[in-house]
């Protein structure tokens, strides 16, 4: 048996905007510009250039789903415009209640984006090691759902849970890692785990003694959580990956 890596819930983050400045000349490290992205990681930190050419899905958030006026920050139509200038935020998805800075969550939830390029922050300076903007980039993306071009502010040294996208290649990688294998589901302190019946959506308790076969790895459309669909005899359950501290593979 071996322990598999937990998957963190992705949540949304509010990011700060900036004053206009000259674009610094930052050389792209060869290893970071490589297109050899196998999907093992979703949030790539400073290997941000690996996102070029990849498709990212803006992940839904169960908390934001419950409110009609939910908005998120970080999107812009022009990454060099000052934050107080008109047109900074993503125009087709502007949300009035955001104070001029927000994107309507419901207009972009589950939208697919293709990363066309990765651009350094306009105030980045490769000659200044203490420059905080050196860890900030902009993902130039095409919204494949709406068809337009947009930029997203990316912080290379942020926490993974603040990255609101799930790479399609990462989902496929995790699906291949789990699907077809047998597992026992055990809680953080070996307590029972609450799962969802796939057919009825009823909540059920799993005690960890049953072997389950993973038949798929998904984003649960009801909870917005990365989850496993597990099967045992005639029963199928959905288990959020983050709530399962230990998932053991049967040898």
The pLDDT value given to residue 114: 97
pTM for this entry: 0.76
Q: Residue 133 phi/psi, 5° resolution?
A: -75, -10
Q: Identify whether the C-beta of residue 184 lies closer than 8 Å to the C-beta of residue 228.
A: no
Q: Residue 117 phi/psi, 5° resolution?
A: -165, 165
Secondary structure of the chain in the HEC alphabet? Answer: CCECCCCCCCCCCCCCCCCCCCCCCCCCCHHHHCCCCCCCCCCCCCCHHHHCCCEEEECCCHHHHCCCCCEECCEECCCCCCCCCCCCCCHHHECHHHCCCCEEHHHHCCCEEEEEEEEECCCCCCCCCCCHHHHEEEEEEEECCCCCEEEEEEECCCCHHHCCEEEHHHHHHHHHHHCCCEEEEECCCCCCEEEEECCCCCEEEECCCCCEEEEEEEECCCCCCEEEEEEECCEEEEEEHHHCCEEEECC
pLDDT in tens, 94-121: 777 766 678 889 989 999 999 999 999 9
Length of the chain counted residue by residue: 251
Chunked in runs of 10, what are the mean pLDDT values of the chain (251 residues)? 33 31 39 70 93 95 88 86 57 71 87 96 85 91 93 90 93 91 74 82 81 89 86 85 59 54
The pLDDT value given to residue 89: 66
The pLDDT value given to residue 87: 47
The pLDDT value given to residue 188: 64
The span from the CA of 153 to the CA of 83, in Å, is: 13
* Beta bridge partners of residue 150, listed in sequence order: 141
Q: Identify whether the C-beta of residue 208 lies closer than 8 Å to the C-beta of residue 1.
A: no
The label of the residue with tokens 């300076």 reads 125
Q: Of 197, 202, 198, 183, whose CA–CA distance to 244 is shortest?
A: 183
Q: Identify whether the C-beta of residue 81 lies closer than 8 Å to the C-beta of residue 119.
A: no
The span from the CA of 183 to the CA of 180, in Å, is: 10
């Amino acid at each position: 048996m071996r322990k598999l890596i937990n998957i963190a819930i992705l949540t949304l983050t509010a990011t700060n905007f900036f004053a206009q400045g000259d674009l610094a000349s930052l050389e792209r490290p060869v290893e970071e510009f490589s297109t050899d992205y196998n999907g093992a990681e979703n949030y790539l930190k400073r290997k941000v250039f690996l996102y070029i050419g990849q498709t990212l899905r803006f992940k839904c958030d169960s908390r934001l789903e419950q409110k009609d006026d939910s908005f998120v920050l970080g999107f812009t139509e022009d990454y060099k415009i000052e934050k107080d200038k008109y047109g900074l935020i993503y125009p087709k998805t502007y949300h009035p209640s955001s104070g001029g800075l927000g994107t309507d969550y419901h207009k972009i939830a589950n939208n697919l984006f293709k990363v066309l390029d990765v651009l350094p922050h306009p105030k980045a300076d490769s000659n200044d090691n203490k420059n905080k903007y050196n860890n900030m980039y902009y993902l130039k993306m095409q919204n494949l759902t709406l068809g337009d071009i947009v930029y997203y502010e990316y912080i290379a040294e942020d926490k993974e849970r603040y990255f609101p996208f799930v790479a399609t290649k990462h989902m496929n990688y995790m699906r291949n890692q789990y699907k077809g294998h047998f597992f026992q589901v055990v809680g953080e302190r070996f307590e029972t785990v609450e799962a969802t019946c796939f057919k009825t959506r009823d909540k059920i308790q799993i005690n960890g003694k049953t072997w389950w076969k993973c038949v798929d790895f998904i984003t649960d459309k009801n909870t917005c959580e990365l989850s496993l669909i597990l099967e045992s005899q005639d029963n199928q359950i959905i288990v959020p990956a983050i709530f399962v501290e230990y998932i053991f593979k049967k040898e």
